[in-house]
Structure 1
Amino acid sequence: MDEMQLYTLWTQKATEDKDLIEELASIKDDSDAIKDRFYRNLEFGTGGLRGTIGAGTYRMNIYTVRRATQGLADYVNGSYKNGSVAISYDSRIKSDVFAKAAAGVLAANGIKAYIYKELMPTPCLSFAVRALGCSAGIMVTASHNPAKYNGYKAYGADGCQITLDVANIVINKINSVDMFEGPKYISFEEGLANGMISYIGDEVIEDYYKNVLAQGIHTDLVKDSGLKVVYTPLNGTGNKPVRTILDRIGVKDVTVVPEQENPDGNFTTCPYPNPEIREALELGLKLSKEVKPDLLLATDPDADRVGIAVSSGDDVVLFSGNEVGAMLLEYICEERTKLGTMPKNPIAVKTIVTTKIAAAIAKNYGVELIDVLTGFKFIGEQIGFLEEKGEEDRYIFGFEESYGYLAGTYVRDKDAVVASMLICEMAAYYRTKGMTLIEARDRMYQKYGVYKHMLGSFTCEGITGMERMKEIMTSLRTNPPKSVGGLSLVEFSDYAASVTKNIKTGAETAITLPKSDVLVFALENEATIIIRPSGTEPKIKVYYTTTGKTQEEATALYEKLDAEFRTILGF
């Protein structure tokens, strides 16, 4: 069917949601609006669904959610006997509606659905999958995207986001499901009544808290440290769990940003509820200048990411995800080594776009560092490999540059709750030693050298956006630049072709990681440019690494690289 035929079908069939009915009526004479909603299906990618909330095949709504869930249900029923699925959801618009729609499909397919009584963070979903012995999990969230988006992340029985192989199986099953006639469905209330849907009990949440607290190293020092914190959950799910954990370790002086304390899917105070972006932290930064805390914590809507800023006189200094991750790795390694709690043959894991300083830290403490593809599920996958060998205790920490961190193996996704706890514990510990986090960061750079990491994002929205991203990647793949910013290309890696080429010798080395649409340009002076299309947003992402004796030197080099590479990309 073409777009107009699909539109007509939806006006006849999509009758359960008044918002969709009104939206469809409002665009009846707008061919461009109709085309944008129906020119393709919302794809179930390697991590699940994500898209704009609204009517149509290319939107997040109860019908696209039911269709995706039917595909997931077919996979579960084909792979497990007496299958069950855990479900959680965040504060986004219609998150609870989509979660209940998914539960209704699972229940109709004879699959037991466990759902939290209220919104809960992504790590709590991962934990519930494992704690309840479920076959799969669903987290309804669009993470840190703007308010118009929602999404749906699928998890395997290990509590990790589904692997590429499983995702492909689920995608094939979804593709065979008719939008309206295909999904089996009963109402949420009927599922509760017949026992196919149950609420997740408080004992699971308490068990999660106990596992988080078990990751502490110096929590005994926190209550007497005088640590002062400003916190913002950015109107998401972090408010209760983060504050609960901080209270339990003794951080009593916590000031919450009032405008961003309660759940609000409209995110009226921060159009981009992403702790990576300064705009999202403005209210927290303003409050910090008044309160003068030791640090500002900010978690994203599904509380799997956390960003920080540190007070410095009358100013507040933002830290990058790379810096926080590296500092946590250094803190964990240094203090566990001193205390004698470091496991034999310890392992840390990071993604390929994450700071190179981690390699220097790991080497210093005799820690094996594993690099994986971008996406925290690949970090979770490494924990699973260790678990299969009965060696999960070797894992000490994993992180990615986009503000995702995990200590412990109780969940298999990034966890802003445990990260918030460890960041506060680290700050409290250094405070007892007369150091701020800024001074601790400077000490790390003096020890290992200055590494500058910056992220560039280039938006390519609409029908033509996907084609533009493909054209950019094809061009760079075919004709990699010989130099950028005055630095010659030393090595070129194409993760889709699984090969690294030495530019000087022409020698090629196989890349053993799974194929991925990622290009790496290794330049002189340890500078690196990595480019990849986002898997969740209509963006090309560029990761820059520069080094120098000082921050100023590394920053100046980054600015040269960024200016020239933007020209190469055509932005």
Structure 2
Amino acid sequence: MGARKDAPASDADPRSKSGALPVGQLLNPVRLLGGLVGLLRGGDPLEVQTIKTTPYDGQKPGTSGLRKKTKVFTQENYLANFVQSTFSALQETGVKVEGGTLVVSGDGRYYNSTAIQIIAKIAFAHGVARIWIGDKGLLSTPAVSAVIRNREGGFKAFGAFILTASHNPGGKDEDFGIKYNSDNGGPAPEKLTNAIYKYTTTISEIKMCPKFPTINIHRKGTATVKSVSVDVFDCTEDHINLLKQCFDIPKIKALIQRKDFKMKYDAMHGVQGPYAKKVFVELLGAHPSSLMNCDPKEDFGGPSTPSHGHADPNLKNAVELCKVMGILPDGHVDPAVVDPPSFGAAADGDADRNMILGSKFFCTPSDSLAIIVYYAQRAIPYFKDGVKGASRSMPTSQALDHVAKKLGIPLFEVPTGWKFFGNLMDSKAVYGKTDYTPFICGEESFGTGSDHVREKDGMWAVLAWLAILAYRNPDPAAPLVGVEQVATEFWAEFGRNYYVRYDYEGVDKGKAEEMMERMRTGAAKKEFDQSTKGQHQYTTDDFTYTDPVDGSVSPKQGIRILFADGSRVVFRLSGTGVVGATIRMYLETYVGPTGAHDEYAPEKVKALAETALQLSLLEKITGRKEPTVIT
């Protein structure tokens, strides 16, 4: 079961180049007759087999599933081992797999199509009765959650395999990933991912049906294969129908139709392309030229594109969009750009992340989250009765804290990972505790969402901003209020949390862990205080989260350095990389409502960064003198 090259289906011939039969003809009369002859001879063409295998090291799912180089996944049985281990863990934890419905799709990166076929063969062997697949094998990560929660009335599927490495590059020589989402539409809880990992370390056999017919994922329709119904459907319909229930579409459409309003949306050749065309062009009436890079590609455009195939919506990678919007990669304004669009936004590979831009203005994800919560009740019908709870990941800036205090709503600081938000959203429905919905949450890593699904949702965040701008621009004859004005007025009321993140990618894992452990034990603080003679007033801790809903405890979620003046530094190791370790250093300093809000953020936190680097000894321990990227 080595690497296979994905091949598009051909509608000219009933059989695709890879041997697939179109949906609806998976068992045509010739194949069916051959199967009956086989049965008469004592054989079964759809026989479930037990295939011997051996474990692979390192199949422990991170915060967003299992991510490795594509060539790792294409090793014999590598993917199949993980999928079988997931089914074993599901059965151990009492999930009703046999007779159930499973969603299988991904972001369209290289190996996506092949992986779908492998999962289908294993799903059939475990008694799955229905397999739901987005057409062309595509479903954005938030769309998968919407499918689980809403398709055919909702909560019909017991879970989903999502084939994505999110914002990581795609391609034969790049990254691939797989994650499992549970029946609430959200990422698998730690109890399940730990069980999956346990099985990957001891697996000795895979239960699958090698001759299960190849599914033509390029043709929508339904077919029955023995006891299994395979449904290939429009990948956009469930998610877009849900979004239409959240927002006032006519008001947003009126904004987009204004002559002084121009927008640009960049799908970065990820899965968001079909959704962007349906939402912005067909639903809201934007001109097709408002979209860029909206044709999904298995390498996200590859190394020859300006983004180098790195579908990650930030200033470094979304350079095409930033250039149009008049913003340089370092965040400075580009004086050469004249009359840029009023609004810009981008998505990552699997469309759960978002970047918000105004004309020559970058809105940080932390500020974006806070501003959305501030305006939600007034601008978004879904929140017409008010936001009942809000949450941010611990490294995210404290801008949201000011808003939550003003609105008088509960605020939760959680570890990085969307599953922690999901527990809060399900507090009443699943655990019978306090109801925090409707609920808004987000992470500094360009992820924002609400309880309409159980994943961060890039399209939702963009529509939330368009709804805010529509609310702020009720009179089409008045001057347009844009993103920058909304943000600066917000700072004037709440103050500005200057915020910057340094990423050090591909660091030797042992060295990275040595640096973190040195801070965790207090050795770094002791040495730093001696060398600086105690001139800095601060405290340090290792963030531990106790979930208020299920009581679970998550230790070692990041080192916090809290200064007396309110400034803050956070160090944590990211779980989204595939090679080495990624050290993330978060820098935050607060300026009140009457202070200066127009300073350049990287310069504003530069002294804080120097102090943090001196305390952590990052350069000395890891040998890294400069961050890979600053956002």
- When the two structures are superposed, what TM-score results if normalisation uses the length of structure 1? 0.81
Q: Is the 8 A contact 2:425 2:436 kept in 1?
A: no
Q: Is the 8 A contact 2:520 2:541 kept in 1?
A: no
Say if 2:120 is the partner of 1:80: no
1:563, CA displacement in angstroms?
A: 2.6
Which structure features the higher share of helix residues?
1
SS at match of 2:571: strand
Q: Show the counterpart of 1:363.
A: 405
1:9-64, Cα deviation, whole Å (9 max, x unpaired): xxxxx556479xxxxxxxxxxxxxxxxxx994443335421011115xxx555622
User: Which letter maps to 2:345?
Assistant: L
Q: Name which of structure 1's ranges 105-114 and 535-544 shifts more when overlaid on structure 2.
A: 105-114
Q: Name which of structure 1's ranges 364-373 and 430-439 shifts more when overlaid on structure 2.
A: 430-439
Say if 2:365 is the partner of 1:321: yes
SS at match of 1:526: coil
Q: Show the counterpart of 1:189.
A: 213
Q: Show the counterpart of 1:400.
A: 443
SS at match of 1:386: coil
Q: Show the counterpart of 2:582.
A: 539
1:471, CA displacement in angstroms?
A: 0.7
SS at match of 1:280: coil
Say if 2:97 is the partner of 1:54: no
SS at match of 2:504: strand
In terms of Rg, which structure is larger?
Answer: 2
Superposed, 1:209-288 pairs within 5 Å as 209-216=240-247, 219-220=250-251, 222-224=253-255, 226=258, 227-247=261-281, 250-253=284-287, 255-256=289-290, 258-259=292-293, 261-268=295-302, 269=305, 270-271=307-308, 273-288=310-325
1:237, CA displacement in angstroms?
A: 0.9
CA separation of 1:80 and 1:396: change in aligned 2, threshold 3 A: closer
Q: Show the counterpart of 2:465.
A: 423
Q: Is the 8 A contact 1:376 1:413 kept in 2?
A: yes
User: Which letter maps to 1:138?
Assistant: F
Q: Show the counterpart of 1:65.
A: 79
CA separation of 1:472 and 1:222: change in aligned 2, threshold 3 A: same
1:406, CA displacement in angstroms?
A: 1.2
Q: Is the 8 A contact 1:219 1:249 kept in 2?
A: no
CA separation of 1:497 and 1:342: change in aligned 2, threshold 3 A: closer
Q: Show the counterpart of 1:562.
A: 609
Q: Is the 8 A contact 1:123 1:414 kept in 2?
A: yes
- Percent identity between matched residues is 19
Q: Show the counterpart of 1:10.
A: none
Q: Is the 8 A contact 1:42 1:60 kept in 2?
A: no
Which of 159, 163, 168 pairs up with 2:189? 163
Q: Is the 8 A contact 1:144 1:272 kept in 2?
A: no
CA separation of 1:251 and 1:452: change in aligned 2, threshold 3 A: farther
1:432, CA displacement in angstroms?
A: 3.9
- When the two structures are superposed, what TM-score results if normalisation uses the length of structure 2? 0.74
1:466, CA displacement in angstroms?
A: 1.7
Q: Is the 8 A contact 1:354 1:401 kept in 2?
A: yes
User: Which letter maps to 1:176?
Assistant: T
SS at match of 1:235: coil
Q: Is the 8 A contact 1:295 1:309 kept in 2?
A: yes
1:209-243, Cα deviation, whole Å (9 max, x unpaired): 22212222575254255132111100011112133
CA separation of 1:287 and 1:195: change in aligned 2, threshold 3 A: farther
SS at match of 1:138: strand
User: Which letter maps to 1:273?
Assistant: H
CA separation of 1:16 and 1:304: change in aligned 2, threshold 3 A: closer
SS at match of 1:438: helix
User: Which letter maps to 1:299?
Assistant: A
Question: C-alpha distance in 2, partners of 1:197/1:61?
Answer: 29
Question: C-alpha distance in 2, partners of 1:208/1:416?
Answer: 12
Which of 107, 114, 129 pairs up with 2:148? 129
Q: Is the 8 A contact 1:491 1:521 kept in 2?
A: yes
Q: Is the 8 A contact 1:90 1:140 kept in 2?
A: yes
Q: Is the 8 A contact 1:136 1:154 kept in 2?
A: yes
1:183-223, Cα deviation, whole Å (9 max, x unpaired): 53435526863343512534x85343222122225752542
1:512, CA displacement in angstroms?
A: 8.0
Q: Show the counterpart of 2:108.
A: 91
1:387, CA displacement in angstroms?
A: 2.4
Question: C-alpha distance in 2, partners of 1:420/1:137?
Answer: 25
Q: Name which of structure 1's ranges 514-523 and 243-252 shifts more when overlaid on structure 2.
A: 243-252
Which of 118, 124, 128 pairs up with 1:107? 124
Q: Name which of structure 1's ranges 268-277 and 485-494 shifts more when overlaid on structure 2.
A: 485-494
Q: Show the counterpart of 2:26.
A: none
CA separation of 1:520 and 1:258: change in aligned 2, threshold 3 A: closer
Q: Show the counterpart of 1:138.
A: 161
Say if 2:321 is the partner of 1:303: no
User: Which letter maps to 1:99?
Assistant: I
Say if 2:485 is the partner of 1:439: yes
SS at match of 2:317: helix
Q: Show the counterpart of 2:48.
A: none
Ranges in structure 2 where 5+ consecutive residues have no aligned partner: 7-54, 216-223, 326-336, 625-631
SS at match of 2:240: helix
SS at match of 2:554: coil
SS at match of 1:230: strand
1:276, CA displacement in angstroms?
A: 4.2
SS at match of 1:452: strand
SS at match of 1:237: coil
Q: Is the 8 A contact 1:308 1:318 kept in 2?
A: yes
Question: C-alpha distance in 2, partners of 1:241/1:306?
Answer: 14
Q: Which has the higher contact order (CA 8 A, sep 6+)?
A: 2
Q: Is the 8 A contact 1:66 1:102 kept in 2?
A: yes
Q: Is the 8 A contact 1:46 1:167 kept in 2?
A: no
Q: Show the counterpart of 1:208.
A: 239
Give the alignment's Cα RMSD to 1 decimal: 3.1
CA separation of 1:258 and 1:374: change in aligned 2, threshold 3 A: closer
1:334, CA displacement in angstroms?
A: 4.8
CA separation of 1:534 and 1:415: change in aligned 2, threshold 3 A: same
CA separation of 1:208 and 1:40: change in aligned 2, threshold 3 A: closer
Say if 2:540 is the partner of 1:492: yes
SS at match of 1:371: strand
1:371, CA displacement in angstroms?
A: 1.6
Q: Is the 8 A contact 2:142 2:456 kept in 1?
A: yes
SS at match of 1:525: coil
CA separation of 1:527 and 1:218: change in aligned 2, threshold 3 A: farther
Superposed, 1:9-24 pairs within 5 Å as 14=1, 17=4
SS at match of 2:79: helix
User: Which letter maps to 1:491?
Assistant: T
1:67-91, Cα deviation, whole Å (9 max, x unpaired): 1000111122331333432112112
User: Which letter maps to 2:438?
Assistant: Y
1:394-415, Cα deviation, whole Å (9 max, x unpaired): 32311111111113x3310001
CA separation of 1:453 and 1:365: change in aligned 2, threshold 3 A: same
CA separation of 1:222 and 1:84: change in aligned 2, threshold 3 A: closer
Question: C-alpha distance in 1, partners of 2:402/2:322?
Answer: 32
Q: Name which of structure 1's ranges 450-459 and 278-287 shifts more when overlaid on structure 2.
A: 278-287
Q: Show the counterpart of 1:501.
A: none
Q: Is the 8 A contact 1:546 1:558 kept in 2?
A: yes
1:259, CA displacement in angstroms?
A: 4.8
Q: Is the 8 A contact 1:349 1:369 kept in 2?
A: yes
Count of residues paired in the alignment: 512
Which of 497, 516, 525 pairs up with 2:565? 525
Q: Name which of structure 1's ranges 89-98 and 181-190 shifts more when overlaid on structure 2.
A: 181-190
CA separation of 1:447 and 1:371: change in aligned 2, threshold 3 A: same
SS at match of 1:550: coil
Q: Name which of structure 1's ranges 209-218 and 320-329 shifts more when overlaid on structure 2.
A: 209-218
Question: C-alpha distance in 2, partners of 1:384/1:518?
Answer: 25
User: Which letter maps to 1:244?
Assistant: K
